[in-house]
């Protein structure tokens, strides 16, 4: 084994030994990112950015299909705009980055590096919206935001991250609520059908809702270490920001009214979700729909047969590319076949295609699935169809596997002692009754480090008793420790 092979073939820390270190090993070894000179920020490397681009494209298509248009708003927000809404600024104040100088001159007014764009977008909407004819306003933007986090982890929580944020304005509560729930379902559909990440949609509690929102809805996913992750949120902002920023319109009946607004967003945190839902001790395992490389073709041949095998591999590569498969041909001579297999498995490529002299004689190729490790042979003639079918199978299997894991790691109890034991020993999601009192909610958080992830739309089972205070309750909540 050469020096370069020795450098690559290093053990990834097992999930069982140290899950946090496993995660860091994977994102670095798979070349998704690297640490930047700025504390809390990361460099997204080409493989990681290709993954983000595929996520972005799948989500952007759905956003546009629901009638929204993309726009762009400035990175900098005047302090006076942020200060207009007290609850909003209080919610973000600890994480705000300030610009105080332009060159060597002190600014007359400090600027905020956007932590989110509600305030500056509201300022613009107050200029653009005059009449009911101007509504609804359905705008989305793809951008970066900055939140000065004290504790960071690549993709999951960084001081700067990439996301999309939708901001809409409507005539009334009914339209705004319909929009909020529509976009939550867009997130649910994308997470499950593209990311193969099963999620639980529901409403956030008053303690957990977005600062300044009337209601916040969320999709919650379970990671393979038993912690939950908020994968996307959608907020009904009510008339709150409209009153602060004087966003009014003349309605059909001739009266002046405030608009109802929504905002919703999903970020590069989704990459973290994919890593932790599907990854294993061999590295990444990527769903075919978002994988930068869906299949890798590895020609395997001794020197005397190499030219023949390589020529057929190149032709097969072209055929599969024309069939729409995102494909790499790994014909590097300086690495062994085993080393290549290890690398592409670690990078999470869903399917490996092996082609050797014997395969050519048999008119077939060997296909190896990343999700199950299963090997199958398939005729070279019409291989594109077989590969496409296998990719669909892998996508479906990854979602089903993640669903089974979630079901196996979801517990139900209203007994607080049992709740504490599950949180410490098993983790996962716990479905319990809650009285609706914020004091009980905060007590559970303080005593167990578990939070209410959401109040599901379709609570199951009969009324019970609040796990903390024992009072009669018909409200079901999902609890978990979370990222």
* Residue 202 tokens, joined: 């529901």
Q: What is the pLDDT of residue 10?
A: 59
Say how many C-beta atoms besides its own lie within 10 A of residue 28's C-beta.
Answer: 15
pLDDT digits (tens, 9 = 90+) for 165-182: 999 999 999 999 999 999
pLDDT at 93 over 90: no
CA atoms of 136 and 260, how far apart (whole Å):
10
Whether residue 6 has pLDDT greater than 50: no
As a CATH number, domain 410-480 is 3.30.110.30
In whole angstroms, give the CA distance from residue 343 to residue 8.
Answer: 8
Per-residue confidence at 5, pLDDT binned at 50, 70, 90? very low
Taking alpha carbons only, the member of 154, 366, 372 closest to residue 282 is 372
Q: What is the pLDDT of residues 201-233, one digit of tens each?
A: 999 999 999 988 999 999 999 999 999 999 999
Q: Has residue 340 got a pLDDT over 80?
A: yes
Chain segment 107-119, per-residue pLDDT in tens = 999 999 999 999 9
Q: Where in the chain is the domain with CATH 3.40.50.800?
A: 295-391
What pTM was computed for the model?
A: 0.94
Cite the residue boundaries of each domain of the chain with CATH code 3.30.930.10. 14-278
pLDDT above 70 (res 88): no
Query: pLDDT category, 9, cuts 50, 70, 90?
Result: very low
Share above pLDDT 70 across residues of the chain, in percent, rounded to a whole number = 96
**Cα–Cα distance, 49 to 55 (Å, whole number):** 10
Domain with CATH 3.30.110.30 in the chain: 410-480
Residues 321, 325, 326, 327, Cα dihedral to 10°: -60
SS3 101: strand
Please give the biggest Cα pair distance in the chain.
86
Exposure letters 420-429 (e unless 16+ CB within 10 A, then b)? bebbeeebbb
- Mean of per-residue pLDDT scores for the chain: 95
pLDDT reading at 236 higher than 90: yes
Please tell me the class of the 14-278 domain: alpha beta
281-332 pLDDT, tens digit each: 999 999 999 999 999 999 998 888 999 999 999 999 999 999 999 999 999 9
Alpha-carbon span 344 to 341, nearest angstrom: 5
Of 3.40.30.10, 3.40.50.720, 3.40.640.10, 3.40.50.800, the CATH number of 295-391 is 3.40.50.800
Strand bridging mode 69-70 / 137-146: parallel
């Amino acid at each position: 084994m050469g020096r370069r092979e020795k450098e690559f073939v290093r053990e990834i820390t097992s999930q069982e030994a140290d899950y946090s270190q496993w995660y860091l090993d994977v994102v670095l070894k798979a070349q998704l990112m690297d640490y930047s000179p700025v504390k809390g920020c990361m460099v997204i490397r080409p493989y990681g950015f290709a993954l983000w681009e595929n996520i972005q494209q799948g989500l952007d298509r759905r956003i546009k299909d629901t009638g929204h248009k993309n726009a762009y708003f400035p990175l900098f927000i005047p302090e006076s705009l942020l200060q207009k809404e007290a609850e909003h600024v209080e919610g973000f104040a600890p994480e705000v980055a300030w610009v105080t100088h332009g060159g060597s001159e002190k600014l007359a007014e400090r600027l905020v590096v956007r932590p989110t764009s509600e305030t500056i977008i509201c300022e613009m909407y107050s200029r653009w919206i005059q009449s009911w004819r101007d509504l609804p306003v359905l705008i989305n933007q793809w951008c970066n935001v900055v939140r000065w986090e004290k504790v960071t982890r690549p993709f999951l929580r960084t001081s700067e991250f990439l996301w999309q944020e939708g901001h809409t304005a409507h005539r009334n509560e009914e339209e705004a609520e319909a929009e909020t729930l529509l976009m939550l379902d867009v997130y649910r559909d994308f997470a499950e059908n593209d990311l193969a990440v099963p999620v639980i949609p529901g409403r956030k509690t008053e303690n957990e809702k977005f600062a300044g929102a009337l209601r916040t809805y969320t999709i919650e996913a379970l990671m393979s270490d038993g912690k939950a992750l908020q994968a996307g949120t959608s907020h009904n902002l009510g008339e709150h920001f409209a009153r602060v920023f004087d966003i009014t319109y003349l309605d059909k009946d001739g009266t002046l009214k405030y608009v109802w607004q929504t905002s919703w967003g999903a970020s590069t945190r989704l990459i973290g979700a994919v890593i932790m839902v599907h990854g294993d001790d061999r590295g990444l395992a990527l769903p075919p729909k978002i994988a930068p490389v869906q299949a890798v073709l590895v020609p395997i041949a001794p020197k005397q047969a190499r030219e023949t095998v390589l020529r057929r591999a190149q032709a097969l590569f072209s055929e599969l590319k024309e069939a729409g498969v995102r494909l790499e041909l790994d014909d590097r001579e300086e690495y062994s076949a085993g080393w290549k297999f290890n690398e592409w498995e670690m990078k999470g490529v869903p399917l490996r295609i092996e082609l050797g002299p014997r395969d050519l004689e048999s008119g077939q190729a060997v296909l190896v699935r990343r999700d199950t490790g299963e090997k199958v042979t398939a005729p070279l003639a019409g291989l594109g169809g077989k590969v496409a079918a296998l990719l669909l199978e892998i996508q479906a299997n990854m979602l089903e596997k993640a669903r089974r894991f979630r079901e196996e790691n979801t517990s139900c109890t209203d007994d607080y002692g049992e709740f504490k034991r599950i949180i410490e020993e098993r983790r996962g999601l716990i479905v319990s009754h809650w009285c609706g009192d914020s004091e009980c909610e905060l007590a559970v958080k303080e005593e167990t480090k578990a939070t209410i992830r959401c109040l599901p739309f379709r609570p199951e089972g009969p009324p019970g008793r609040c796990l903390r205070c024992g009072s009669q309750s018909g409200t079901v909540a999902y609890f978990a420790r979370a990222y």
